[in-house]
Amino acid sequence: MRYVLGLDGGGSKLLCVIADETGRMIGSSLAGPTNSSYNTPEEIELSITSVISEILANHNIARQDVSIVYGALPADGQLSISTITKNLHDGVKVNLCGEYVLSLFGAIQEDYGAVVQAGTGSFAHIRTPKTEITVGGWGPILGDEGSGYYIGKNALMACVRMADELGIFTILQERILTYCKQVKMRDLCTLIYATPSNKQSTLIASLCPIVGKAAAEGDKVAIDILEDAAEMLFMQASSVLKLPDVEARFPLTVAGGVWKTNPLLFNCFSTKIKQLFPQIDLRYPLFEPVIGGVLLGLRDLGFPVKAKIEELKHHFSAYSISADLFQ
């Protein structure tokens, strides 16, 4: 039996999913971060090595039986490839690609299309037969509008405006203080700046679901924040959809945790897309990016991914995204 591996690495963790050539999911494993900006080469090697050894050991799979790996890792490519090969075998096909390639294929099983990513950061990416462009993705200081960081930061700013009597009341203040186990905004402020800079974005982005919940309960400030974030994500989408080779029924989808905790966000976003780009085929995402890697590997092995999508939905249900979240 041949196997395929999908790897999705980031600033906080590395996720690995393995499937056999019949399209059945065998298992998954998790290791530490693999981000060259924050982690040493040794840490990155360790994450890759441990995520692969664990998954093989747990499911009693021989290294030689893994045929194809698709991965997106924010780490040095040479280092990643050699570590993966070392942990498998010289003949394994290792395909490292951008996060959006896995996101797009995981979401809608297409090679061409646009994807608007909103996780801790944000960006829009498009791939047509002729070109490939990314808009956004400028990080927490210069950009990432509409991201989890952006939403969390705007929520914090609304709370300090309330504390300074410059803004209206929002339930976000009490909710965020409780979540962060603080009594006053000034203490929370101290806590945030005392957090190491590589953890600050994650902490701030983690406030995002609180905003989604407050918005669902009718908090005006939370609703405004999400509507603004949707506008920002729509702007990024609109910039890539303006490309001349975007034809009618061109597919667009979304990826990233922020969409899942904030139904209002997708609602506002899709309304705008339908209004201003009625010819675009906006589709709900089916799977997490890591499954994009697995499905690309399966396709390379000759597995008819699109024809057997219902079967795959069943096998990979642990990493599928509920359509309810978007309706």
Binding site for a second copy (CB under 8 A): 37, 135-136, 138-139, 141-143, 153, 156-157, 160, 164-166, 189, 192-193, 197, 200, 204, 235-236, 239, 242
Query: Which residue, 29 or 35, is less far from a second copy as judged by CB?
Result: 35
DSSP string, 191-259: HHHHS-HHHHHHHHHTTHHHHHHHHHTT-HHHHHHHHHHHHHHHHHHHHHHTSTT--TT-EEEEESHHH
Kindly tell me the burial class for residue 319, based on how many C-beta atoms sit within 10 Å of its own C-beta (0-12, 13-18, 19 or more). buried
Query: Which residue, 109 or 117, is less far from a second copy as judged by CB?
Result: 117
H-helix or E-strand containing 152? helix 148-163
C-alpha torsion 174→175→180→181, nearest 10: 60
Q: How far is the CB of 148 from a second copy (least distance, A)?
A: 14
Q: How far is the CB of 173 from a second copy (least distance, A)?
A: 12
Distance CA 114, CA 246 (A): 10
Query: Which residue, 27 or 98, is less far from a second copy as judged by CB?
Result: 98
Query: Which residue, 83 or 120, is less far from a second copy as judged by CB?
Result: 120
Q: How far is the CB of 143 from a second copy (least distance, A)?
A: 5
Query: Which residue, 44 or 185, is less far from a second copy as judged by CB?
Result: 185
Q: How far is the CB of 206 from a second copy (least distance, A)?
A: 14
DSSP string, 97-127: --HHHHHHHHHH--SSEEEEEESSSEEEEEE
Q: How far is the CB of 260 from a second copy (least distance, A)?
A: 24
**Alpha carbon 78 to chain centroid, angstroms:** 23
Among 295, 222, 225, 284, which Cα is nearest to 253's? 284
Q: Are 95 and 71 in contact (CB under 8 A)?
A: yes
Q: How far is the CB of 197 from a second copy (least distance, A)?
A: 4
Query: Which residue, 108 or 237, is less far from a second copy as judged by CB?
Result: 237
